[in-house]
Amino acid sequence: MSEEIAIKVRGLTTAYGTHTVHEGLDLDVMKGEVLGVIGPSGTGKSVLLRAIVGLKPPETGTVEVFDQNVTDLSGDDLREVQNLWGIMFQDGALFSNLTVRENVMVPMREHTDLPEPLMKQLADQKLRMSGLDDSAGPKFPSDLSGGMRKRAALARALALDPPILFLDEPTAGLDPITAAGFDTLVRELQSALSLTVFLVTHDVDTLVATCDRIAVLGRKKVIAAGTIEELRRNDDPWIQDYFCGPRGRAAQAGES
C-alpha cells in the first residue's frame, strides 16, 4: 500500500427525496489497499459505492479518482474515466441471456474496438484468472452454481484491466468454504495485479482475510477507519459489538 490516494471523497451528501443517506462524508482510499466498508443496515454502504462510480449523483461534495474530479462528469467524459474501475455488484448482475464468456466481453464491446477473436481470448483469460475453467465460458449464468456466478462476475469486473475494483457484498449467500475461497482469490488478485479494492461487506471473516483497513459508516458519515486492531480499541458501541462480540472473536481466532 502506497501513500498515494486513489479515491478521495470530500463533503459527500447523498439523498433519496427527503431522506438523507450521507451528510458531509469524507473518505480516503489509498492506492494498493483493500479497504473494507462496513456499518449497520441502512447506513448507505452500497449507496456510497454507487456515488463514487457515478451511478448515484450526490447532492453536494466531490469524488476524485487518481486526482480526477469525477463528480460532475457525464457522457463520454464519464465513460472514459469509468475505465479506471471494474464493479462486481451484490448479486453478480450477469445478463441471463448471454453466455458467461459474452458477459465478460460486454465491457470490451462498450469501451474498446478489439476484434471479436481477441475479445473471446481475453474473456477466457479473465475467467481462468477468476478460478473458472474453459468449460464455463459457453455456459449461461443459470448453469452455474452461486460461487461460480460470483467468479464470473469478478471476471467481468476485471475485463478492462482496471486499477480499481469495487466489490459489493461479494460473499453474500455463499457457504463458508466457498466464501473463504473467494476471499483468498480476491487477496491473490489484488497482490498480483496491484489492485486498489473497495469492498462493501457485512462478513467479519472476509474483513479478516482480505482487508488492510476498514471504514465504518454510521450517523451519515465515516465514524472510524483503521486496521482491525485499531478498530477493536474504538469505544463506539456498535464497533465494539462487531469486532469484540462472539463472531468477531471467532473470526480473529481462526486467522491466528
For residue 133, pLDDT over 90 is answered with yes
- Return the DSSP state at 149: H
- Return the DSSP state at 82: G
CA angle 140, 142, 148 (to 5 degrees): 85
The count of other CB atoms within 10 Å of the CB of residue 45 is 24
Cα 138 from Cα 104, distance rounded (Å): 11
Q: What is the per-residue pLDDT for 45?
A: 97
For residue 165, pLDDT over 90 is answered with yes
The residue written with cell numbers 454510521 in the block is: 218
* Percent of the chain with pLDDT strictly greater than 90: 84
Q: What is the per-residue pLDDT for 156?
A: 97
Q: What is the per-residue pLDDT for 72?
A: 80
| Whole-number Cα distances in Å, 15 to 53, 57, 130, 188 | 16, 9, 35, 36
Is the alpha carbon torsion for 21, 26, 171, 234 positive or negative?
Answer: negative
Q: What is the per-residue pLDDT for 76?
A: 82
* Nearest by Cα to 27 from 42, 40, 10: 10
86: helix, coil or strand? Answer: strand
| Contact predicate 199/44, CB 8 Å | no
Q: List the 19-30 sheet strands across, edge first.
A: 19-30, 5-16, 60-65, 68-69
Render pLDDT for 184-225 as a digit per residue (tens, 0 to 9): 999 999 999 999 999 999 999 999 999 999 999 999 999 999
Q: What is the per-residue pLDDT for 73?
A: 81
Tell how strand 213-218 and strand 221-226 pair up: antiparallel
At 182, the pLDDT band (50, 70, 90 cuts) reads: very high
Q: What is the per-residue pLDDT for 171?
A: 94
Indicate the class that CATH gives domain 5-66+163-255.
Answer: alpha beta
Render pLDDT for 57-111 as a digit per residue (tens, 0 to 9): 999 999 999 999 998 887 888 888 888 999 999 877 899 999 999 999 999 998 8
| Whole-number Cα distances in Å, 32 to 21, 178, 185, 225, 234 | 28, 25, 16, 16, 25
Q: What is the per-residue pLDDT for 93?
A: 86
